[in-house]
Structure formats: C-alpha cells, structure tokens
Amino acid sequence: MRKILLSIGVLTSVLSFGQAPILTTSNINGIGTSQTYYVADSNATNLDAITGMGITWDYSTLQGYANTVDNTILDATTAANAADFPTSVFADELQGNFMIYENQVADSIFAQGYTFSEPTVGDVLVQLSTDELKIMHYPFTYPDSFTDSLSGTADITGGIPVSGTYTGSVTTVADGYGTLLLGTNSYSDILRVKIVESSVADLGFLGSIPLVRTQYNYYQPSTQNFPIFMHTSLEAAGTIQTIVYSKDPLSIIGVQEESLVTEVSLYPNPGRGQLNLAINSAADLESFIEIRDLLGKTIEKRSENLTKGANRIQLNIEHLVSGIYLVHIDSGNSQLTKRFVVE
C-alpha cells in the first residue's frame, strides 16, 4: 500500500508541474544541419545544484563576446579523420574544438571516437574500437539516466608522439526541466541533460593522464534539436578549460573583465637548456609562472612582474628529462597553459 501511495504522490507532483519535455528520435540532427553559437563568459557558474521539476535556471545576467562558433553535423565519410572511423555515419563538429564520430543503431546513438585539440596536451585522436560509447537513447526525459563504459586507444601528436590505451565511463542524466532565462529571453519546456565522463589515458612513459568532462545541455525538444545553451568543463593534465555557448547573443563583456594576457608563445619548442616565454600583456600586472608535468604536478614556480606590451621571460629547463611539460601562467583574471617539449 505504501508503494502505491508513493507512486500516486510522484504522479501528482509531475502533473502539478506539467509534462516533462522528451527527447525522441525526431530530435536527431541530420547531415548538413547546423547551429551557430555565441561564445559566453567562461566564468559562468554551471548551476549544478538546480535540479528537479518545474525549476528555473537563471542566466539572465550572463555576458559574452561577439565571436561565434558553429555546431555542424557532417557526413562522417567526408570528415577529416574518416579513415580512422570507417563505421561512423555522422561527424558532430563543434568548430575549432571537438569532433565526435557517431552511428545510429535503432533507438540509440553510439560514438566510435573523437578528435580534439587541447592546448596542454596537443592533437588527440581517441578510437573506441574495443568498447563504443552510448551517448543517447530515445525517448529520454526527466529523470532518465544511463551509464556506459568506453575503451580503445588514444594517440597524441605534436612534439613527441605518444600512444596508449583509453578507458572510462560516462553517466548521462536528465536532471531537471523547467524554464531557462538566457540574456533577455525566457525559454519554457527546457530539459537539461548532464553528461559526466571520467576517463584515463595510459600513455606509457608519460604515465596515466586522467580526463574529466562535465557538460550541461539545455534542450527545448519541441522547437529545435540543437541545445539552446551548453556549459562544458574539461579537466585534463591538471588544468581546467571551461567553454560556454549560447544560441542567443548576449551583452558584451567590458574590457576590464576580459583577459589581460592576450598572447603567449614559447620558443624554441621542442628545445633543451633554455625556454623563452613571450607574453603580451594589456596592463602592468603580477603573474605566477609554473612548470608542471602532464599529470599537473608543479615542478617549479616563480613570480614575474609583467609590463604593458611585450614581455620576454627566460626559463631554465636543462634539469628536465626528455618529455612533454606544461607552462601555466596565472595573472589573476587570466590563466593560460601552454605545452612544450624537452628534447
């Protein structure tokens, strides 16, 4: 009797908040479809704690930039790494950031692997040849969830090429539905899908590099197939990169809020003995510079007073063994990481 009463209570709650939005196979994007996104402030909170029925995610004060990126569904047979993914049908490309090679099987979509460029690691090719990853099944609505494993190989190019195994798992959950306030617009019937990937690339002499990707996709299934809003954080090699995209244009971030370190380069790279760090700064400011290994462990740290304009800093690396390392620059509101190779 208690189970029956609990079921009635849950049903009453769902009815009181309205029908939860549902992603179905009709929401699968076809080859050639595309969505343009505006780049938003990467410091935006992920609103992780706001979950449940009939809730509101408030990004009404979110600011962004004038630049845009395109999310396009390509024919996988014509994509850049087609030869590496012969069974894929779709290639889901997020311009300049990520490419997922996919195939649809009945009511599910599986990923055969992906490619991306990570400034602290290099160009990465992941082939899930041992265990493909389920990235969605339909229908999918609140509070549906599933977990799937993945396994294959990882190849990193740039500097010293390395290869190894890649294993992990991904949990996908529809953790809430309700209203999204985005800039000056309000969207109802939004379904939020949270994706958490925990993986490890075992790269031989470089050791094991953990990767954690947490992504929040905000869908309005009744009007369009692409997410209206996306918030992604990628933690790899001890650094965190956050990417936020909005379908709507946002108010432009003021100059004082933008990164003051506008350009960083390293030379010679690969090199040995001495590494030159060139930093272009928009103002006089204090920076902390760290040399880290690929696991994010700090090897050494120093402070530098940057002046407005071009700065050149010399780093002694003659004590480092051959391999791939990171230079991390922390200037308060600006945090950048660059990769270099010791020959």
pLDDT band at 60; cut points 50, 70, 90 = very high
Predicted local confidence at residue 158, as pLDDT = 67
Cβ neighbourhood burial of 68 (10 Å; 0-12, 13-18, 19+): middle
Cβ neighbourhood burial of 156 (10 Å; 0-12, 13-18, 19+): buried
Q: Look at residues 256, 257, 279, 259 and name the one whose alpha carbon lies nearest to residue 327.
A: 279
Task: Tell me how far apart the alpha carbons of residues 318 and 320 are, in angstroms, rounded to a whole number.
Answer: 6
The CATH code that applies to domain 259-342 is 2.60.40.2550
Predicted local confidence at residue 14, as pLDDT = 44
Indicate the domain borders of the chain.
Answer: 18-252, 259-342
Greatest mean pLDDT among 7-21, 162-176, 200-214, 284-298 = 162-176
User: What's the pLDDT tens digit per position in 220-271?
Assistant: 999 999 999 999 998 876 677 788 999 999 998 754 445 566 677 888 888 8
The percent of residues in the chain predicted with pLDDT above 90, rounded, is 51
Least reliable range by pLDDT among 124-138, 150-164, 258-272: 258-272
Q: Find all residues with CB under 8 Å of 277, minimum gap 6, and list them.
A: 264, 265, 266, 289, 312, 313, 314, 315, 327
Q: Which residues of 225-252 are buried (b: 16+ CB within 10 A; e: fewer)?
A: bbbbbbbbbbbbbbbebebbbbbbebee
More confident: 147 or 295: 147
Predicted local confidence at residue 330, as pLDDT = 83
Task: Tell me how far apart the alpha carbons of residues 290 and 306 are, in angstroms, rounded to a whole number.
Answer: 15
pLDDT band at 298; cut points 50, 70, 90 = confident
User: What's the pLDDT tens digit per position in 66-124?
Assistant: 889 999 999 999 999 999 999 999 999 988 668 999 999 889 999 999 998 765 567 88
Task: Tell me how far apart the alpha carbons of residues 101 and 86 are, in angstroms, rounded to a whole number.
Answer: 10
- When pLDDT is averaged across residues 49-68 and rounded to a whole number, the result is 93
